Chain A
C-alpha cells in the first residue's frame, strides 16, 4: 500500500501511540482493498479511515459517553474533501521520537525501521543479525516504553537533536542497506513503496536540518551516491550488475554532484567519521564517470581509514577486494583467508568476494564452490540471476 510511512507517521503523531497507528493503518488498508473503486486520494483516505478506526477503538475502550464528547470533532469520511492538508508530514518528527535516548539503545533504530519505514520484523532482524522473536520483543518493549513512559510526541528542541542523531543516522543507514540489497524491488513491493527513495528523502532532510553535523551530510552523500547508480544496477533480464561492470553513462550525475557538495561541506568541519569515509569511497568509484578509471589505491587508503574507525569483518572484506585491485588477486585472497570464516559462513558477500578473487586467480573450481555457497544462502532474485550467470561461465 503506497504512502505507508507518511500515513503511519501522521496517525502516530495524532494518536500518540505507535501500535495504535500501525493497527489503524492495517485496518484502513484492508478496508480500502474491499472498496469497489479505489479512492481518488489513497493516502488521504487511509489517514482519515485509520484515524476514525483508532478513535472508534478508543471510544469502545473508554466508554462511549466520555469518548464521544472528547472526540466530537471526528466526523465521517466526508471530511477528506474539506481538509486543506489532510496528512501533515510527521515522518521526521517520528524518526526523532523513536530515537529518544530513554529507549534502549539497541531498540531505537529498530523501532524507527518498523514504524517509519514499515520494514517487516523479519527484515529488521536480518539487518541486526538477531532472531525474529528477539527483535519482535525488542520492538514491542520499545513501543510500550514510548506509550507509557511519557516520551513527548513533539519534535525535540534543537539542542537535543545531537544526542539522538547517532540512532537516527543508524536507522537510515540500515534502512538504506535493506533497500540497496533489494535491487530487484521485492522488499519495496512488499512494503508498498520505494524504500530507497524514502530513505534518500529523510537523509537529505536530516542533512538540511543539521548542516553543521558532518556525519549527517556524509550519510546523505552516501545515499545519493548509491542511488545515482539505480538505473545501471539491474540489466534487461533483471540480473544485478556489479559496480565495476556498470555502464556509467547511466549514472545520475546530478546526484553525484550533489553528494560531492555535501562531502565538501562536511570536510570543512574537520570532523571525520565513518559515513563521510564510506561516501568518499563511493565518490571515488563515481569518478569513473569522469576519469574513465577507478583510483584503487585511493579506495584502499580510504578502507584503511574506515577499518580503523569502524572495524568489522564486512569492512575488512571490502578492503581485501580493493587490495586485490592494487596488489593482485592472491594478496586479496590471503586477507580473506585470515578473516573469521566461521562468523562469515552465512554472509553472502564473503562467498561472492572469494568467488571473484578465486576466478581472477584462475582457481575456477574453488570459485564455483564459493558461488554455490553464496547461492545456497538464498540471495534476492536480482543477485541470484547475476550469480547464476557467473556460475554458468565457470562451467
Chain B
C-alpha cells in the first residue's frame, strides 16, 4: 500500500552559513535514501518544497473565496517536502520514514487512499 511521508520541519535551521552546511548534509542524506529505495525495489516519488514563506493559501468561508499569503497553518514546523512510497504496511513505511534526515521536526506517515476503493 502507498504511504505519504510528510516532512514537517523547522526551516530556520537552514539559515546562515552553518545552516547551509547542514542543508548540504541533509540533501546528501536524501540522495542516499533515494538510492536505497531504488536498490530495495520500492516504488516511490517525492519532492522538496520551497520555504513556507512562498506559499499562498486559498480559503473559502460562506462561499466566498479569499487568498492568504502564507501556509495553511502557522506553526513552527512547516511541510518541507514529501515522499510517496509503496510498501507492504505501516511498519515498513515507518522504517523508511525513520531514515529521512530531519534536523529539527518530524515525519507524518499517512496511508494514501487507494484509487478505486469505495468508502
Chain B residues in contact with chain A, CB under 8 A? 1, 3, 88-91, 93-94, 111, 118
Contacts and interface: CB of A to CB of B under 8 A. Distances in A.
B90 A149 contact: yes
Given A61-B118, A150-B111, A160-B91, 8 more contacts: A100-B90, A102-B94, A148-B111, A149-B90, A150-B3, A151-B89, A151-B90, A152-B90
Nearest to A61: B118
Interface of A: 61-62, 100, 102, 148-152, 156, 160
21 contacts: A61-B118, A62-B118, A102-B90, A102-B94, A148-B111, A149-B90, A149-B111, A150-B1, A150-B3, A150-B89, A150-B90, A150-B93, A150-B111, A151-B89, A151-B90, A151-B91, A152-B88, A152-B89, A152-B90, A156-B91, A160-B91
Chain A facing B: main interface SS:
loop
Contacts of A149: 90, 111
A303 B118 CA distance: 56
A150 B111 CA distance: 7
Which among B89, B91, B93, B94 has the highest number of chain A CB atoms within 10 Å? B91
Contacts of B88: 152
Contacts of B91: 151-152, 156, 160
A250 to B, nearest CB: 48
Contacts of B90: 100, 102, 149-152
A150 B4 CA distance: 12
A152 B118 CA distance: 21
A62 B117 CA distance: 9
The 7 closest A-B pairs by CB, nearest first: A150-B90, A152-B89, A150-B89, A151-B90, A150-B111, A150-B1, A149-B90
A149 B87 CA distance: 12
Contacts of B93: 150
Nearest to B87: A150
Which among A149, A151, A152, A156 has the highest number of chain B CB atoms within 10 Å? A149
Contacts of A150: 1, 3, 89-90, 93, 111
